[in-house]
Structure 1
């Protein structure tokens, strides 16, 4: 049970990290294209 739980937590953590980085990346691209903001 604990093994499956820790594995699930790892998957969720990686998924959240992936989603967050994707959103930030898209947001930076969007800002750059629409407002010519450079980071």
Structure 2
């Protein structure tokens, strides 16, 4: 996932930032115990 995202976002820093946020939200849903103390914006 991270590799594919990096390759796709190589040409666009904006897309990279959005993918990073989306990835953090996705991981937050999958691992609430780890991301719970850290608020997601």
- TM interval, shorter chain, is 0.5 to 0.7
Unaligned stretches of 5+ in structure 1? 1-10
Equivalent residue for 1:3?
none
Q: Aligned pair count? A: 25
| Matching of residues 22-37 of structure 1 within 5 Å | 22-32=22-32, 37=33
Structure showing greater relative contact order (alpha-carbon pairs closer than 8 Å, 6 or more residues apart): 2
Higher helix share: 1
Unaligned stretches of 5+ in structure 2? 1-10
Relative to the length of structure 1, the TM-score reads 0.52
Relative to the length of structure 2, the TM-score reads 0.50
